[in-house]
Amino acid sequence: MQVHQNYSLKKYNTFSIDASAKFFATFSSADILEDLLESNKDIPKKMILGGGSNVLFTKDYEGLVLKNEITGIQIISEDDEFVFIKAGAGEVWHQFVLYCIKNNFGGVENLSLIPGNVGASPMQNIGAYGAEIKDVFYELEALHLEEKITQKFSATDCEFGYRESIFKKKYKDQFAILNVTCRLRRNPEFNISYGAIEDELIKMNIQDLSVKAISDAVIRIRTSKLPDPKEIGNAGSFFKNPVISNLEFQEFKILSPEKVPHYKTDTDHIKVPAGWLIEQCGWKGFRKGDAGCYDKQALVLVNYGNATGKEIYNLSEEIKISVKQKFGIELEREVNIF
């Protein structure tokens, strides 16, 4: 249980921002975490860090960073229709997906190659290509950082929303997620409603649909337009896709002479791609120093080498202002700012 001081976080965040933590330690079990919390209770500020794929450090962290390294994947129950799989919060999300693909368990194939760890999946309600974690989520266990009591949370308890959960709102910074249990289908129901998947499957000449084929298609799509964090620092989608009312959408169309891509979320609301809005404002491919907007996907802000977190943040502010001025739409960051 070694606690390091003034510890670099550069390799622990996918933006590769060279910030440091005043104190840093790792934990691989709930017991170790409890011991760390108890022995460092005099440090008031604490942060649980997972894969570092959805954070932007704009300054050094003046507190204790606790990195979650709880691993393990196990089937805890199953029946003719479903299999319930528990994964440690420190497991790499894509490795969990590959485990499910290998065993032909359906439900997470559309979420292939999303960066980060399993623990962040319910916190962010991760989603892509017509699927979200809430579609397969069963329950999770989390430790309350102050009371040191482990609690179970059902899907209802998590209050899932679009890239939201109770852990980003009411319980922000209060819990450490220990493990997540998902309910996967033994007989997969394929979801290829997102047009890009269908197109990619045609290109791949897939005759027999499978979870493996869908996963491969998603991986091909993602790698074609998203930068690998190992090569170019980034946190994936920096902004959420805005959801607006039907009336707002009609007003919005008047402001845009272009054909506006959009997706109906329910009878009263429409989702507009944030990447399209940003691109229309001329940011795609923009670069200032080592901070930039990726040239293949405007939704992704990147660190080309030595950008500071503050420089990335300032760029995101400029983008927000320009989209608001041009379209009257307020973009919301998906990435957590520290």
Q: Which residues are catalytic?
A: 163, 237, 334
HSE-up of residue 297 (Cα within 13 Å, Cβ side): 19
Q: Give ∠ CA 232-236-240 in degrees, rounded to 5.
A: 150
> Taking phi first (over 0 means left), then psi (-120 to 50 degrees means alpha), and beta for anything else, what does residue 193 get?
alpha
Tell me the CA distances in angstroms from 61 to 1, 48, 57, 304, one per residue in order: 20, 12, 8, 22
E strands, the chain, are 4-8, 20-27, 46-49, 55-56, 61-68, 73-78, 82-88, 127-128, 131-132, 137-144, 150-154, 175-185, 233-237, 243-245, 263-264, 269-271, 287-288, 291-293, 300-303, 336-337
Q: Tokens standing for 131?
A: 């699927």
DSSP letter string, 86-133: EEETTSBHHHHHHHHHHTT-BSSGGGTT--SBTTHHHHHT-EETTEEG
Q: Report the candidate in 240, 219, 227 with the shortest Cα–Cα distance to residue 110.
A: 219
Task: Please state, in angstroms and rounded to a whole number, the distance separating the CA atoms of residues 202 and 191.
Answer: 15
Contact criterion met (CB below 8 Å) for 207 and 162: no
Neighbours of 160 (CB within 10 A): 20
Whether 237 contacts 333, CB under 8 Å: no
CA distance 294 to 304: 10
